[in-house]
Chains A and B, each alone.
Chain A
Amino acid sequence: MTETATKAPSELVTNSLVRYTELPFDAGLAAVITLDNGRDHTKPTTLGQGGLEALAQALDEVAAKPGVAATIVTGKPYFFLVGADLKNIGMVRDKAMAHEIASYGHEVFSKLADLRMPTFAAINGAAMGGGLELALYADYRSISTAAAAIALPEVFLGIIPGWGGTYLLPHLIGAPNAIKVIVDNPLSNNKMLKPQEAFDLGIADVIYPAPDFLEKTFVWAAKIVLGQTKVERKPVDTGAQWADAVADARKRVAARVRGAARSAYVAIDLIEGNAKRTRAEGFAAEDDALADLVMSDYFRAGLYSFDLVQRRAKKPAGAPDTSLARPVTKVGVIGAGLMASQLALLFLRRLEVPVVITDIDQARIDKGLAYIRGELAKALERGRMSQTAHDRALQNISGSLDYQAFKDADFIIEAVFEELSLKIEIFKKLEGYISDTAVLATNTSSLSVTKMAAPLTHPERVLGFHFFNPVAVMPLLEIAKGELTDDATVATAFEVAKKLKKTSILVKDAPAFVVNRLLMRFMGEIFRAVDEGADVDVADRSVDDFGLPMRVFQLLELVGPGVGYHVSKTMQDAFPDRFYASANMKALIDASVSPITVYEGDKAVLTPAALAVMKFGDKKPTGEEIRARVLAALADETNRMLEEGVVSEVQDIDLGMITGAGWPFWLGGLSPYLDREGVSEKVNGKRFLPKGVASVT
């Protein structure tokens, strides 16, 4: 690489240690290259500029050494190599340099492919991105049953596997399987392959058990060197099968992201072209594509998002010192409905402490318990839970009509109907039984935590603990601090959240907190447009460029119009000039119309039953107008939340939208997209994030 390259000052260089060792069966000398950054298993090995140079040097040394019968590349324990150093790439500020990173990676990795003796990648541990790509340059690959994660996650981050992945992988395992790994998995919550799956796809030639993975690899390598073992691979069809796979992938991606995930489309284009390209041509195409994407705000937003979920999520901003947290040895759940039962299940599985549920009568409690036990049995059956964990959870769950059962609970959460007086009544009654320091948490999505706490003897123990549906899947927890909530209560809540393996953000007690507030403002604009007379399909697809996991009317059917309207009404009551509660929606709920829309192919259509009760204006706003209104509304509401101090920084809003609403990485959650589209400046007169934080410039 040229001297103009900027080295990441903080690069933890992965060394390529070269060691020569005799192969079994007198098969000759093997050069073993071990990728190791000198740290323990908490610091995965990555390749930055320094690491690439070290690898180049090692491969040059092996190439120059006479009498080497085999070269084996492997990693330090638990890691093969997890790819490019993202810090390094995030610092690239001009396109020539981005191009250079891509082409230098190709150049260095090709040194492995160009070695004259048989080459092996012993995938002993996680192999991601550039790590997996490096393995593809070897002649042969073995994989350990303990190799935790095998993936090409680049498309998820907003780039493409640009160190050979889009060329080498389809030519090794065929385009259909390669597209799964390169495109579909990254778009499916960045799914990783298990070692057996990687082997089944043909990424590795052999799979060996972890305890003697390296020994068996040495034996296998020796037999290949001696010609005693031959590796048979299925021939790759670069004709019709390849073309069909590309066409199918375009359809799947279109259905999923509706054009928004640029990296997915670029990857598919590359794979399509690579059917007929030579290796050199394929690598050159990757260089160009990677340089383009690296220099896009789209990718920078992806990197920003990655940093939020990887780093910020682990150290929630504003959380009090963990030493203030009180131990939670028993949990109470008020309510035995579906939401409450899901909460009870989560506490049972993650906290492994006794959990008591209650409701207004024994029948409801029994129904909740039956649901919980059924879910535990399912988890056991599917192998998601061990027998021991299952038995423990069964022992830990109980139900009681008598609040006496909560007297020794340290953390009690209510998930009853959204009515302030009811929740206050329950909390007041609980105070007659529980200790003075037991936390009272509410899963309310829109009521005031402060109002809920005020009438209590110990209001300082009350906070909002707001989950997202489905509870087991959505990572976000909004922890809402009321005006009177004390730090020990908040600290305890954060510790509980951590044990629940949730991403938590600290929010001020404000109507609908963060995510629902933005979603209500967003959906309100869509419903307003429909009520004004916009075609429902036009409104529904007006924000397709966001690439949201679901269109608005799909989401509405999933959540249920009743819940949606209830929250929107609460918000409209609080802020009538900004939030919209649709009169049509009220009429639809009153008339129990379901479903409201159906999808005819890709197109949302109101059902006759819905049309019968709905009234429309004659404004007919266009999709472009609706999109502009939505963006402006989101920019306005985000800015207001920051001014009100609902969160300490806009990063928490973005983290919330990613983990609570499933908004995509390439939007950066929300604010990078608003900045990128110029809406922030137009609406608020300023950007949310400084230039360069989630953008190239």
Chain B
Amino acid sequence: MGKEVRNVVLVDAVRTPFGKAGSMYSETRADDLLVRVVRELLERNPKLPPSRIDDIAIAATTQTGDQGMTLGRTIGILAGLPHSVPGYAIDRMCAGAMTAVTTTASGIAVGAYDVAIAAGVEHMGRHPMGETFDPNPRFLAEKIVNPDALVMGQTAENLHDRFPHITKERADAYAAASQDKTAKAYANGRIQPDLVPVAVRTAAEGVALATADEPPRPGTTVEGLAGLRTPFRSHGRVTAGNAAGLNDGATGAILAAEEIADELGLNKKLRLVSFAFAGVEPEIMGYGPVPSTEKALAKAGLSIEDMGYIEINEAFAVQVLSFLDYYKIDDDDPRVNPMGGAIAVGHPLASSGIRLMQYLAREFADAPNVRYGLTTMCIGLGMGGSVIWENPNYQGAQSKAA
């Protein structure tokens, strides 16, 4: 193993279009979504010999059935990779794919791997949240956690309580903006190039091709959102409109040591700077990105002002807003989720981390004047994850987008 830490780059990231849970992918298996993602990654990067892949880490929250059986290995075999390429499964709930990236990146940094694939999937239609939960009774009997901790929507309501200045109106305004930004990104063709078309079939309807995300609701207005139910609490603030939905989808990325990427002539879309995970009280799960970002920034010796773009997962609007408030960033700051976020595009739990990186890569590509960016997300049971990236296309602060 090398004695020096090597630079790690993200070579490419693709994803399937996200579906509403059990809708366009109702009869499509989670593992088949992943096979599409992995095969597309290899097809888009023909300079990477598949035999050079040293490991495949694949995340899913519910690891059973078509999301079970050690996904990294089964997908490698099903996608037709050489049998010499190993794989494993990984789980950190919503930050599964993010953890797949940081874990394989760590292996690359220390010289254990040259190239790795990180991926994530969640088919919430086939695996409803909590499907296989069997929480230890001590959690509640010994009041180890607040009962709300296991229901994400209730943790979001708790966050509104904790930060009363984050009103439902603010959350709805943020949500409507996310829809708007997503619609604009689609109109400008910034999302489509990194989508993997998936042939879908249902026994009743036959075959079709999924080429676009299903969840976005272009034209959503604050007024339209105002009247939605608050399912987690009567007279609450969290609605289906200001939270991410229940979704199906898969994402995947190729990571490589920078020197190997150069040797093989691979693209370099993001360069890893630092990462951190951190925990908070489980009942205010959504606040996790604050301490994890603090840690990651400290390790990188950077401050939030250095971040030219911030891709934060929108599990709930309130959780994003609590982060922005902490860093005193405006709700409509153009650096934050410029292409929209999970409220519009969806959040298939363990797959979302790579979607954030994919979006950041697109933003970096068009902004050679931006040097650093952050991808961050909240994680069930009170955690946050943050990864700081450098723009390999950075040409100095004065440079202009092409």
Could you list which residues of chain A lie within 8 angstroms of chain B, going by C-beta atoms? 17-24, 30, 32-34, 36, 38, 72, 74, 76-77, 209, 211-212, 214-215, 218-219
Contact = CB atoms under 8 A, between A and B. Distances in A.
Given A211-B35, A211-B39, A211-B78, A18 B206 contact: yes
B208 A212 contact: no
Given A209-B80, A211-B35, A24 B204 contact: no
A211 B212 CA distance: 20
Residue among B79, B207, B212 with the most chain A CB within 10 A? B207
Given A211-B78, A218-B197, A23 B209 contact: yes
A215 B40 CA distance: 11
B211 A32 contact: no
B197 A19 contact: no
Nearest to B43: A212
B300 interface: no
B184 interface: no
21 contacts: A17-B204, A18-B206, A19-B205, A19-B208, A20-B208, A21-B207, A21-B208, A23-B209, A24-B197, A32-B208, A33-B206, A36-B203, A38-B203, A211-B36, A211-B79, A211-B80, A212-B199, A215-B199, A218-B199, A218-B209, A219-B197
A370 to B, nearest CB: 33
A410 B36 CA distance: 48
Interface in B72-89: 78-80
B39 A19 contact: no
Given A22-B209, A22-B211, A24-B197, A215 B36 contact: yes
B198 interface: yes
Interface in B169-228: 196-199, 201, 203-209, 211-212
Interface residues of B, number: 21
Contacts of B212: 22
A24 B212 CA distance: 10
Interface in B3-48: 35-36, 39-40
Nearest to A217: B199
Contacts of B80: 209, 211
B78 A214 contact: no
Interface string B254-291: 00000000000000000000000000000000000000
B204 A215 contact: no
Given A22-B211, A209-B80, A215 B198 contact: yes
A109 B199 CA distance: 25
Contacts of B197: 24, 215, 218-219
Given A74-B207, A214-B199, 10 more contacts: A17-B205, A19-B206, A19-B207, A22-B209, A24-B209, A33-B206, A34-B205, A36-B203, A76-B203, A215-B199
A285 B284 CA distance: 78
Residue among A19, A22, A74, A77 with the most chain B CB within 10 A? A19
Contact of B209 (A33, A76, A215): A215
A49 B78 CA distance: 39
B217 to A, nearest CB: 18
B207 A32 contact: yes
A38 B40 CA distance: 31
Nearest to B189: A26
Contacts of A18: 206
B25 to A, nearest CB: 14
Contacts of A17: 204-206
A187 B252 CA distance: 50
Nearest to A219: B197
Residue among B36, B205, B211, B212 with the most chain A CB within 10 A? B211
B127 to A, nearest CB: 22
A387 to B, nearest CB: 12
Residue among B35, B40, B209 with the most chain A CB within 10 A? B209
A77 B28 CA distance: 12
A17 B36 CA distance: 24
A215 B206 CA distance: 14
A32 B36 CA distance: 20
Nearest to B199: A214
B206 A212 contact: no
A41 to B, nearest CB: 12
B79 A36 contact: no
B378 to A, nearest CB: 33
A212 B36 contact: yes
Nearest to B32: A211
B201 A34 contact: yes
A22 B208 CA distance: 8
Contacts of A22: 209, 211-212
Contacts of B35: 211
A13 to B, nearest CB: 14
Contacts of A74: 207
A214 B211 contact: no
A624 B217 CA distance: 84
Contact of B206 (A32, A209, A211, A218): A32
A598 B150 CA distance: 88
Nearest to A214: B199
B78 A34 contact: no
Contacts of B196: 215
Contacts of A23: 209
Contacts of B204: 17
A17 B202 CA distance: 10
A260 B295 CA distance: 86
A463 B35 CA distance: 52
Contacts of A34: 201, 205-207
B36 A36 contact: no
Nearest to B36: A212
Residue among B35, B198, B206 with the most chain A CB within 10 A? B206
Contacts of A215: 36, 196-199, 209
A347 to B, nearest CB: 30
A218 B199 CA distance: 9
A209 B198 CA distance: 14
Contacts of A212: 36, 39-40, 199
Contacts of A21: 207-209
A175 to B, nearest CB: 34
A30 B36 CA distance: 21
Contacts of B205: 17, 19, 34
Contacts of A38: 203
Contacts of B40: 212
Interface string B40-81: 100000000000000000000000000000000000001110
Nearest to A212: B39
A24 B208 contact: no
A218 B207 CA distance: 11
B78 to A, nearest CB: 7
Contacts of A19: 205-208
